[in-house]
Amino acid sequence: MDRSGVAILGYGRFGSALADLVEEAGLPVRALDIRLTVPESRRVDDIPHLLADARFVFLATPLGAFEAALRSLRPHLQSSHIVIDVASVKEAPVAEMTRALGDEVPWVASHPLFGPSSIALGERPLRVVVCPNPLQAASTDAVRCLYETIGCEVMVQDASTHDRVMAQTHALAFFVAKGLLDMGTGDKQPFAPPSFQAMARTIEAVRSDAGHLFLTIQRDNGYSSEARRAFLEALGSAHHQIEAWGEKPAGDAGALDIPNLGGQAPESRAPGELLEECDRELIRLIARRAQIARRADRVGEVSGEAPRDPAGERALLDRRRSWAAQHDLEEEAVAQVFAAVLRSSDASLRG
């Protein structure tokens, strides 16, 4: 039997977003969830129908339900399937799939470094970490190819290194965000310097994309406790040094100094280099806008940007002119830029 489809067990926020990416890539997708509603075009009622014609089988369940989900699948899995997990930690799923599937059913551990919010915002590239299965090298290549087919950029890393990196980055970002939120610091402030605005964006990203994963990231990653402890010790040391600070020459902060950027500080860089950076960011924003426009078109929303609707386009360009005026920019020049962006979006939709 020719198996080319994708099966998804678990249709929560990530499972449904993954199904959208798969379908947009032109691959058949089926999904099963005993608690959540699955659209009729993707819904199946039991595991045998879920796995029929499927080559790739995603477990998009919470990590706490992973073992039970794998047990429910196991009697129906064959060597022609490839089981893929999408958890935020990797050592635990790898150990569980090794125990339950061994070398009889191909499996690959993966961690998509994006979520539904990233997709809705049109962010690209969508990055995925794939952890090789030492028992079946071919399955790793197949999963990498699948992720690339649905528009992802793939990085290959072993499970232990993945979890160590995530403890130092993912887990600490959530930990800091949790502390700031519990202090009330994450609430809207009447004003804030750029340094805090960047932290506020981190808090917003945590809340919008994966705030419900806090305990999973902290407790199920075996390296997170060590990372939190080291972080708290560093903060505690800085706190004690500040409290014990005596009379010292001005500017002699010693270990309390934060290293500056040196030659990479904006004021040290050539204006032409900064302009290049701005233009690259503009290109990324145009690409992101095109992604959102394609998504709006797919779900049947009225985007108001198609040249086929002259009245809607005129209204849209008028709003852009008003925004340009607020920034003392030439209104007609800005309108021409957006007219070109609209033509580009329209061409993308037709293509």
pLDDT tens digits, 80-130 = 999 999 999 999 999 999 999 999 999 999 999 999 988 888 888 999 999
- Least trusted range by pLDDT, from 109-113, 224-228, 265-269, 322-326: 265-269
Contacts of 51 (CB under 8 A, 6+ apart): 7, 57, 73, 76, 77, 81
Q: Identify whether residues 30 and 114 lie together within a single domain.
A: yes
Nearest to 130 by CA among 115, 114, 112: 112
- In tens, the pLDDT along 124-183 reads 899 999 999 988 999 999 999 999 999 999 999 999 999 999 999 999 999 999 999 888
Short-list 88, 61, 69, 66, CA closest to 214:
88
pTM, whole model, 2 decimals?
0.88
User: Which structural domain range is residue 181 located in?
Assistant: 165-188+195-236
CATH number for position 104: 3.40.50.720
Please check the confidence at residue 278 and state whether its pLDDT lies above 90. yes
Give the domain-ending residue among 213, 236, 259: 236
Domain assignment of residue 259, yes or no? no
User: Hey, what long-range contacts does 92-98 have (CB within 8 A, 24 or more apart)?
Assistant: 92/63, 92/66, 92/220, 93/63, 93/66, 94/131, 94/159, 96/66, 96/67, 96/70, 97/70, 98/135
With cut-offs at 50, 70 and 90, classify the pLDDT of residue 344. Answer: confident
Domain assignment of residue 245, yes or no? no
Count up the domains in the chain and report the number: 3
Single out the residue of 237, 231, 235, 108 nearest to residue 162, CA to CA: 108
Please count the CA atoms within 13 angstroms of the CA of 225 that sit on its side-chain side: 3
Same domain, 9 and 112: yes
Strands 107-112 and 126-131: what pairing?
antiparallel
Same domain, 116 and 229: no
Residue 332 lies in a domain: yes
- Say yes or no: 32 and 107 in one domain: yes
- Domain co-membership, 300 together with 208: no
Same domain, 230 and 342: no
CATH of the domain at 308: 1.20.59.10
266 occurs within a structural domain:
no
Instruction: Specify whether 69 is located in the same domain as 88.
Output: yes
Residue 229 and residue 146 in one domain: no
208 with 170, same domain? Answer: yes
| 172 & 141 share domain | no
| 97 and 220 share one domain | no
Whether 252 maps to a domain, the answer reads no
- Give the helix ranges, DSSP H, for the chain: 13-24, 47-51, 66-73, 91-101, 116-120, 137-149, 159-166, 172-183, 194-209, 214-219, 224-243, 271-298, 310-326, 331-350
Q: Residue 7 pairs with which residues in a beta bridge?
A: 30, 57
* Residue pLDDT, tens place only, 148-157: 999 999 999 9
Q: pLDDT for 7-52, tens place per residue? A: 999 999 999 999 999 999 999 999 999 999 999 999 999 999 999 9
Kindly give, in sequence order, each residue whose CB lies less than 8 Å from that of residue 290, ignoring residues fewer than 6 positions away: 122, 344, 345, 348
Domain boundary among 157, 176, 204: 157
Instruction: Specify if 153 maps to a domain.
Output: yes
* In-domain check, residue 15: yes
Assign 201 a pLDDT band (cuts: 50, 70, 90): confident
pLDDT at 254 over 80: no
Q: How confident is the model over 267-271, as a mean pLDDT?
A: 90
| Model pLDDT for residues 289-339, shown as the tens digit of each residue | 988 888 887 766 434 444 457 888 899 999 999 999 999 999 999 999 999
- Out of 126-135, 209-218, 248-257, give the one with best mean pLDDT: 126-135
Let me know whether 18 and 116 are in one domain. Answer: yes
- Whether 56 maps to a domain, the answer reads yes
Provide CB contacts within 8 A for 119, sequence distance 6+: 17, 20, 21, 126, 295
